[in-house]
Amino acid sequence: MERWLIYLKSLDKIFCFCWKLFKNDGIRTQLAHDGVNDWKNVGEKLKMHEASCDHINNMNKWIEMELRFEKSKIIDKSVQEQINRDREHWRQVFLRIIYVVKTLAKNNLAFRGDNEKIYQENNGIFLSMIQMIAEFDPVMQEHVRRIKSKEIHYHYLGHKIQNELILMLTSEIKKIIIEKLKISKYFSVILDCTSDTSYKKQMSMILRCVDISTSLVKVEEFFLGFLLVDDTSSKGLFEELVDALNNLELDIDNIRGQDYDNDEIDNFEFLLGMIIWYEVLNNVNRVSKQLQAEDMHIDVAINHLKASFHFSKVIENLVLNRPWLMLKRLQVN
C-alpha cells in the first residue's frame, strides 16, 4: 500500500492521508472525505487520484513539512520553545514551594498569619520564607515579579495549594511507613484517646516496629494519624483499630503488643497498681452514680460516702499489711 494511503478498519475504507492533512474545504474528493471501499475498481481510482494536481500539491506540502520537522524549522518552533521555558519555570517554582512546605511541616510550624498577601506584615511563615528565597534565587525573583506586576492571576502561594501539598506529602510518607511495616512484618500498637477542640473523641494511632529497611536496624515509632471514635468502649476502640489496619493493608495477626498512654506492663508493681486503682476507681464510680440519682436523699448520700471512705481504708490496710491478698486477686484474674 502506498505511504499516502491509510486504511480504517472500523469503516473498512481507505483514505488519502495528505489530503486529510491539507484538504481544501472547497474541493471535495472521495478519498479525502468519504473514503473508498469499492475494492473491485479501487486500483483505477487510486491511479486517477494520484495523478491529480491537488494530490501532488498536497504530497509536496506533506514532504516539506516532514523536512521542516526534522530540521526544527517549523513556524511553531519559537512558540514551542517559549512553552518549554514556561513549563520549566513553573516546575522550578513548585519545587521551591514543596521544599518550603516540607520544612515547615517537619518542624511543626504554623504556615499562615493574618493575611495571605506577599510583602505584607503578619502574612505568616510560609510567605515570609518565599520572600526570603526571592532575595537571592532568580526563579523565585521572577515569580514574585510576575505576581507584583499582575502578569499572572494564579501564583499558587495560597492556603489551598499549601493544604493540597501537605496531603500529597502525607500520602507519600504514609506509603513509605507502610512499606517499612510490611518489611518488618511484626509491630505493636500504641493508642490514646483524647478530645479535640470541638469535644469530639479521637484516638491517636502509633505503630512501633523494628525498622530493617536500612543497614542500621533500630526500633521506630510512626504516627499514622487520628481516628474519630464514637464508641470509646473496648469493643468500639478495637473495631476502629481493625478498620484502620484494614485500610492500611496491615494484618492484625502481626500485632505483637498493645500500649495505652505510654504505660509499660513489665513489672509486678505496675500490675499490682492496676488492681488497686481498678478497685478504688470502680468504687468511686459506683458511688458517684448513686449520688447523682434524682431520688437520692441526704442521709443515704452520707451513708454512701462513709462506705466509700471505709472501703478506701480497707484497701490501704491490704496494701500496707496484707499485699498477698491483692496478689491472689491478680492471679485469679
Q: Check whether residue 140 and residue 99 sit in a common domain.
A: yes
- For residues 227 and 244, the answer to whether their CB atoms sit within 8 Å is yes
Whole-angstrom Cα Rg for the chain: 38
Q: Check whether residue 46 and residue 67 sit in a common domain.
A: yes
Q: Check whether residue 116 and residue 151 sit in a common domain.
A: yes
Cell for 234?
473496648
Between strands 218-228 and 255-260, the pairing is unpaired
Between strands 218-228 and 201-211, the pairing is antiparallel
Q: Check whether residue 67 and residue 84 sit in a common domain.
A: no
Residue 178 counted as domain residue: no
Residue 162 counted as domain residue: no
Identify the domain boundary among 260, 284, 300.
260
Task: List the domain range (segments joined by +) for residue 112.
Answer: 79-157
Q: What is the pLDDT of residues 145-159, one digit of tens each?
A: 988 888 888 888 888
Residue 302 counted as domain residue: yes
Low-confidence residues of the chain: pLDDT under 70: 1-10, 19-33, 69-77, 195-199, 234, 259-262, 264-275, 318-333
Q: Check whether residue 61 and residue 31 sit in a common domain.
A: yes
Domain count across the chain: 4
Task: List phi, psi (to 5°) of 34.
Answer: -95, -25
**Per-residue pLDDT at 238:** 79
- For residues 52 and 60, the answer to whether their CB atoms sit within 8 Å is no
Q: How far apart are CA 162 and CA 103, in angstroms?
A: 12
Q: Check whether residue 243 and residue 308 sit in a common domain.
A: no
Residue 22 counted as domain residue: yes
Identify the domain boundary among 260, 282, 317.
260
Q: Check whether residue 84 and residue 153 sit in a common domain.
A: yes
Q: Count the Cβ atoms, other than its own, within 10 Å of residue 247.
A: 9
Give the pTM: 0.50
Q: Name the DSSP class of 229.
A: -
Q: DSSP states of 238-280 as a string?
A: HHHHHHHHHHTT--GGGEEEEEETT----SHHHHHHHHHHHHH
The amino acid occupying position 202 is Q
| 47: helix, strand or coil | helix
Q: Check whether residue 91 and residue 66 sit in a common domain.
A: no
Residue 280 counted as domain residue: yes
Identify the domain boundary among 260, 277, 310.
260
